[in-house]
Amino acid sequence: MTSSVPTIEIVALSQTFDLAQLFAPGEDQAVRVVRPEEVSNPERIEIALAWRPEGKAFDAYPNLKMVSSIAAGVDSILACPSLRQDTVVTRVRDHSQADLMAGFAAFQVIWHHRRMGDYIANQARHVWDRSFRPQAPGSVTVGVLGYGLMGRKCAMAIAAMGFRVVVARNSVSVVSEVVPDGVEVFAGPDAIHTVAAQADILVNILPLTDTTRDILDHDFFARMRKGAALVQMGRGEHMIEDDLLSALDSGHLSGASVDVFRQEPPEVDHPFWSHPKIMVTPHKASDTSPAEVLRQVLENFAALREGRLPPGLVNREAGY
Ligand SMILES: NC(=O)c1ccc[n+]([C@@H]2O[C@H](COP(=O)([O-])OP(=O)(O)OC[C@H]3O[C@@H](n4cnc5c(N)ncnc54)[C@H](OP(=O)(O)O)[C@@H]3O)[C@@H](O)[C@H]2O)c1
């Protein structure tokens, strides 16, 4: 039976993914995600789904009302020169994704705290070494940069394992909120440094903005505690990759887990692949499902149409 609901055409704009394939609809879906060359009438396009769109990507759609990221980050959309000022930008806010993120962060904290990399190296050499004694979690401070949808769940999961957690956010919340037990919040422009200076393990889950680009650099690492470890799962452009190598090779930092890179995928001869103190994962700290992304796109667009604030609305001025 064919549906009487008209199909909404959403244009997919990405230089890196074939979003039309990724978001291929089921048979009875009222939404069609199409490549630019498949658009029947550019004037009828009101919604775009985007991830790293090319510079002129939005030019062809004079009636575009809303651009949705396929994920939490919107940096590549906001940086796109053809994005018009009056276009609403939304993101995905997926609590299940935040749960995945929290699990990944918790795993990485344990990886560094318990020196799991040493056991794996020992196993390869058939070495039974029980000499390492981990500190009690309560005397280990884990810093989390970012206290949004992702950072909050990460902080709670890490605090639940008994670690002391200090987090950095941008602004002091206007609504007083309960901070979970074991979590201390620092806010303001210097919060990231305050947190970095205390952390034995530092988890970065900030958005990429004009303020946060290149923050994980030589000076930043020098402010971190000697022997601290870094879990980098925000955006590749947060970090000067050579500066991480220097901090590890000098012995100032003890290890790093890197999920996001300046160029993805990194070149096959990128030094992180084979560095003994770095764990590389392929931007998979968390994930969301195409069905959930589309559900949220439609929810956001319905809100926009009805004059309500879309739940995934991005503050274009703040950049996240
Ligand atoms: N590796 C992965 O698989 C993966 C998956 C999802 C997301 N991410 C990355 O994670 C980022 C965050 O996601 P989210 O959903 O948690 O975003 P969000 O809900 O928008 O939260 C962003 C947080 O960062 C804080 N912040 C922004 N600029 C800051 C600054 N200069 N100093 C200190 N804190 C600052 C914000 O402070 P306020 O609360 O005060 O506004 C907020 O707490 C995404 O943008 C994306 O880059 C990575």
169 CA to middle of ligand 1, Å?
8
Q: Model confidence over 167-190: pLDDT tens digits? A: 999 997 666 678 889 999 999 999
The active-site residue out of 112, 113, 235, 238 is 235
Query: Is 164 noted as a catalytic residue in this protein?
Result: no
Instruction: Give the pLDDT of residue 25.
Output: 72
Q: What percent of the chain has pLDDT over 70?
A: 96
pLDDT of residue 175: 63
Residue 305 is a catalytic residue? no
Ligand 1 atom 48 nearest Cα: 234
Are 150 and 194 within one domain?
yes
Structure confidence at residue 6 (pLDDT) = 67
Q: What is the mean pLDDT of residues 204-224?
A: 98
My answer on whether 55 and 86 are in the same domain is: yes
* Cα 147 to ligand 1 centre (Å): 7
Give me the pLDDT at residue 24, please: 87
The confidence score (pLDDT) of residue 177 equals 76
Q: How many folded domains does the chain comprise?
A: 2
Q: Specify the higher pLDDT residue, 226 or 40.
A: 226
Q: Report yes or no on 161 lying in a domain.
A: yes
Query: Is 224 among the domain residues?
Result: yes
What Å distances lie between residue 242 and 44, 188, 224, CA to CA? 46, 27, 16
Residue type, 143: G
Average pLDDT over every residue of 66-76: 97
Indicate which CATH number applies to the domain containing 49.
Answer: 3.40.50.720
Ligand 1 pocket residue status of 320, Cβ below 6 Å: yes
Q: Where do runs of H (alpha helix) occur along 230-283?
A: 241-249
**Is 181 inside any structural domain?**
yes
> How sure is the predictor about 60, in pLDDT bands with cuts at 50, 70 and 90?
very high
1 found inside a domain: no
Mean pLDDT estimate for the chain: 95
Residue 301's nearest CA partner among 13, 16, 49, 56 is: 49
Residue nearest to atom 8 of ligand 1 (CA): 234
Q: How far is the CA of 44 from the centre of ligand 1 (A)?
A: 33
For atom 29 of ligand 1, the residue with the nearest CA is 170
